[in-house]
Structure 1
Amino acid sequence: MATKTAENNNSSTAVSEKKNMTIDNASVDAKEMKNAPLHKFFVSALKDIYYAENAIVDALEKMQEAATTEELKDAFEDHQLQTKKHISRLEKIFKLIDEKPEKKECEAIKGIIKEGEEVIKSTEEGSMTRDAALIIAAQKVEHYEIATYGGLAQLAITMGHDKAADLLEKTLQEEEETDENLTDIAETFINFDAEQED
């Protein structure tokens, strides 16, 4: 009996030591992960797209005001609402990986938005040519987002951030749907009507 009790004590001590080791290893792993170059790049890219999404909300408002057709105005309005959801989704992702949501200035999106503003200045108000040009400008934004979210989702999977990966993939899918919707609007009538303009 005494031997059995001693064995039980030894095994419970071993279990408790193993638990402590696991907790220690987990905190070491978390520290190592935060300092890993890939994690740092991932966080930096999240801050970049977080800045971009906030800038896109403002840009979409200007594009909606500049658009000629109701279809395009509605598409820009819908995408603006969706972009606000993408921002809150990014904030969830920051929380999931224990990072603070911060914006990092994104030169790429600044350039794409500036190009969109030039399109508005260089096309005639109320023309289908302007709408056709706005669609192309908007699709440049979409393609930037698709490339970014696709890459980030794969990095999240690689690093074992499964919940973050699911959220990134959801946003990616929505960006792809928006891009297809813009193509449909252009091909249905806007491009043809623009071609008829003098």
Structure 2
Amino acid sequence: MKLESLRDLLVEQLQDLYDAENRLTKALPKMAKAATSPELKAAFEKHLAETENQVSRLEQVFEALGQKSKKKTCAAMKGLIEEGEETIKEDAEPEVKDAALIAAAQRVEHYEMAGYGTVCSYAKLLGEKDVLKLLKETMAEEVATDEALTQLAESTINLQTV
């Protein structure tokens, strides 16, 4: 697809995020299974449900833009998930592994926040109010997940690794 306009770029970025979110729906159950902290397991399971809704929300965004829901390979998410899988395989004390899983998950969240921040800006510039509303909803969830992970990292999980 040749990028001839900001709208084209918006669609391409959405395709990247759509692929990223779909990949994440497969990775989060593995992270939840690897977590030993009940709170961390619950956080991953909650974010899986949110991510499934985010995939649906992106499909609504494509529809609102008159586009087909289409994935463009997200190399960044592919790499972040590979790092997460390496973390899962690490030989580490349970609390240390949980701390490492949080670090991997927060890298994912920060990538997503950057991506959603960008598409929110494009949607706003293009006057796509309905699209912007949907994207802001997802952005708020990503920020909340990141904050929840930070709280877990700063609470009992990391205190046990000292």
Counterpart Cα distance in 2 of 1:136 and 1:51: 22
Question: 4+ residue runs of structure 1 moved beyond 3 angstroms?
Answer: none
Counterpart Cα distance in 2 of 1:127 and 1:174: 27
Larger radius of gyration: 1
Q: How many residues align?
A: 160
Which amino acid letter does the alignment assign opposite residue 139 of structure 1?
Q
Q: Work out which of the residue numbers 26, 29, 32 in structure 2 matches 1:64.
A: 32
C-alpha offsets along residues 112-165 of structure 1, whole Å, 9 cap, x if unaligned? 0000111111233x6100000000000000000000001100100101111101
| 2:136 corresponds to 1:144 | no
Stretch deviating more after TM superposition (37-46 or 105-114): 37-46
**Counterpart position of 2:52:** 84
**Counterpart position of 1:100:** 68
After TM superposition, the score normalised by the length of structure 2 is 0.96
Which amino acid letter does the alignment assign opposite residue 166 of structure 1?
K
Deviation at 1:36, TM superposition (A): 4.1
Tell me the C-alpha RMSD between the 2 structures.
1.1
| 2:16 corresponds to 1:48 | yes
Higher relative contact order (CA 8 A, sep 6+): 2
C-alpha offsets along residues 67-99 of structure 1, whole Å, 9 cap, x if unaligned? 011000000000000000000000000000100
Structure with more of its chain in helix, by fraction: 1
Which amino acid letter does the alignment assign opposite residue 155 of structure 1?
Y
Structure 2 unpaired stretches of 5+: none
Which amino acid letter does the alignment assign opposite residue 132 of structure 1?
A
Counterpart Cα distance in 2 of 1:130 and 1:120: 7
**Counterpart position of 1:109:** 77
Structure 1 unpaired stretches of 5+: 1-34
After TM superposition, the score normalised by the length of structure 1 is 0.79
40 and 145 in structure 1: CA distance in 2 versus 1, 3 angstrom threshold: same
Counterpart Cα distance in 2 of 1:186 and 1:123: 20
